[in-house]
Chains A and B, each alone.
Chain A
Amino acid sequence: MKIMILLAAVILVFSPKSMANSKIIATGGTSSIEGSAGGGIVPWAVINGYASSDEWAVTSFISVVGVDDFTLNTFGASLTYDNNWEWSIARQTLKLDSLGGELGQDIFGVKYHIAGELLYTALPQISLGIQYKKHRDFALPKAVGARDDSGVDFYLSATKLLFNQIAGRNLLLNATARATKANQTGLLGFGSETNNNYQLMLEGSAALLLNYNVAIGVEFKQKPNKLSFADEQHWRDVFIAWFINKHVSVTAGYVDLGSIAGFNNQQGYYLSIEGAW
């Protein structure tokens, strides 16, 4: 009986109407490497997938970042509701190609859309988000001076699509402020023995929609530099995203991750594929 009621509730919630995917193509952005909707490395104020008001959507993704001495593999999923709520999960595995071995962390995210509509209001779409990050192999980060194996990031994002900006194309602009203690976004743990303060970091993205389905863009991500054993630098990328339809999108990029754990000039590719229902 209980199961029947539960089943009925699930069917009701996920009825064709509530899974209608009414949002305009590309307006859910793509899944960032932390699982939150955004660009590749910056979370945006948009909610993942295509659930508009009173609708539900599910997304999942797999991505790989390959730079000179490291490879970051990520997969994850999100559940979104009402174009207001986004619950996400991502599992990252960083292969230390030159050193040998690997590190990993899991990221649980919640994003809430508080104001504005990406397409329809003069006010940008504004969202608040948190990401709880838990390291899975803390021995190495601890050995190089990281304090904690888990941490929480808080961010505020503003994203706006401006119509008819460059050669008649629409331009998406995003600014994100993030409070974080993470070293290399958490892959090298959180805080250090001498510095356990939250730091406010700024991240930005700009993307030009060549048509409804293809966007090209740039991103910048400011990062703290808490560990004394090696310098940490800001990240940047350029990308092209192809929203083939409302169910599949593919993103390819070129990333510059600066210095990581003493390995300088880490540059390479970014590839991601997302499915949405």
Chain B
Amino acid sequence: MKWILITTLLFLSACSQHTRPSLYQQLGGDAGISLITDALLNEIANDERIVHHFADTDIERFRRLLAEQLCQLTGGPCIYSGGTMQDSHKGFNITLANYDALVENLTKVMQRQNISISAQNQLLALLAPMYKDISYR
């Protein structure tokens, strides 16, 4: 019993010594983030709960900035060149329901692309706290 415990502990500590791939790598790098970004834009375009917020958006620019942001946020080699979350959502009055809708769309996309549960949840952990900067501006 003791031996099993010790071996397990050794095994676990050996695992944690390994440098884990960054979330950026887990999501498939630049290509993976492009896929997520495009699919998410597609979901938004078909979601009547939130599509109106994008009526005056330059979609090409939005797409580039979102991919940049996801890349930087997940530890990729990019620098986000857009404005702060507070500034870029000013006047939109993004509600809790809007935010929920966007998160739901993202989870749909990630499931469809067979991203591991762990990577999905790591990304959600990074995005969820942005709620306070994005909502009700």
Contacts and interface: CB of A to CB of B under 8 A. Distances in A.
Interface of A: 17, 20, 22-25, 52-55, 83, 117, 119-122, 163-164, 167-170, 211-212
Contact of B124 (A20, A53, A163, A167): A163
Contact of B117 (A24, A53, A169): A169
B49 to A, nearest CB: 6
Interface centre among B96, B124, B129 (most CB of A within 10 A): B96
Given A53-B95, A121-B131, A121-B132, A23 B125 contact: no
Interface residues of B, number: 24
Q: Is the interface of B mostly helix, strand, loop or mixed?
A: helix
Contact of A24 (B95, B104, B121): B104
A216 to B, nearest CB: 14
A122 B129 contact: yes
Interface of B: 49, 95-101, 103-104, 107, 111, 116-119, 121-122, 124-125, 128-129, 131-132
Contacts of A22: 49, 96-98, 100-101, 104
Contact of A54 (B97, B111, B121): B97
A163 B121 CA distance: 6
Q: Is the interface of A mostly helix, strand, loop or mixed?
A: loop
B118 A167 contact: yes
Given A24-B100, A54-B97, A163-B124, A168 B116 contact: yes
A168 B128 CA distance: 16
Given A20-B97, A119-B103, A164-B122, 11 more contacts: A22-B97, A22-B98, A24-B100, A52-B100, A117-B96, A120-B99, A122-B129, A168-B116, A168-B117, A168-B119, A169-B118
B118 A23 contact: no
A212 B121 CA distance: 10
Given A121-B131, A121-B132, A168-B118, A55 B103 contact: no
B43 to A, nearest CB: 14
Given A22-B104, A24-B104, A212-B111, A168 B96 contact: no
A168 B121 contact: yes
27 contacts: A20-B49, A20-B97, A22-B96, A22-B97, A22-B98, A22-B101, A22-B104, A23-B100, A52-B101, A53-B95, A53-B97, A54-B95, A117-B96, A117-B131, A119-B128, A120-B99, A120-B128, A120-B129, A121-B129, A121-B132, A168-B116, A168-B118, A168-B122, A169-B117, A170-B121, A211-B117, A212-B107
